[in-house]
Amino acid sequence: MRVTVRYHALLREKTGRDRDTFEIPLSSAKVSHVISAFVKTHPAFERLAAALNVAVNEEITIREASINDGDTIDLMPPFGGG
């Protein structure tokens, strides 16, 4: 399946991109597979990966959530509002 991954704040800055498209070679995949694909492409994020926040189709979710072909996934650093 193919998903679009959008980068925010620190991620956009450090990758120098606002999005990537990842091909996940599985028929049934989870958010954690997308994070692994992201870290493989951007290894500088290996240490921060566990602290990233994730949304699938604009709903914040967990690593175990299922993803589908065509989904849009937002990868976000720790929050800092207020």
Partner 1 sequence: MSFFTRQTIDAASLEREVASDSAGAIVTFIGTTRNTHAGKGVEHLEYEAHEIIANKMLSGMCDDAIRKYGLIKVALKHRLGRVDIGESSIVIAVSSAHRGAAFDGCRWLIDTLKTTIPIFKKEYYSDASEPVWVGPDGKPVVL
Binding site for partner 1 (CB under 8 A): 8-10, 14, 44-45, 47-48, 51, 53, 55, 58-60, 74, 76-82
Distance separating alpha carbons of residues 77 and 23, to the nearest angstrom: 22
Q: Which lies closer to partner 1 via its Cβ, residue 25 or residue 80?
A: 80
User: CB 9 → partner 1: shortest distance, Å?
Assistant: 4
Q: Are 37 and 73 in contact (CB under 8 A)?
A: no
79 in Cβ contact with 53 (< 8 Å): yes
- Nearest residue (CB) to partner 1, 13 versus 26: 13
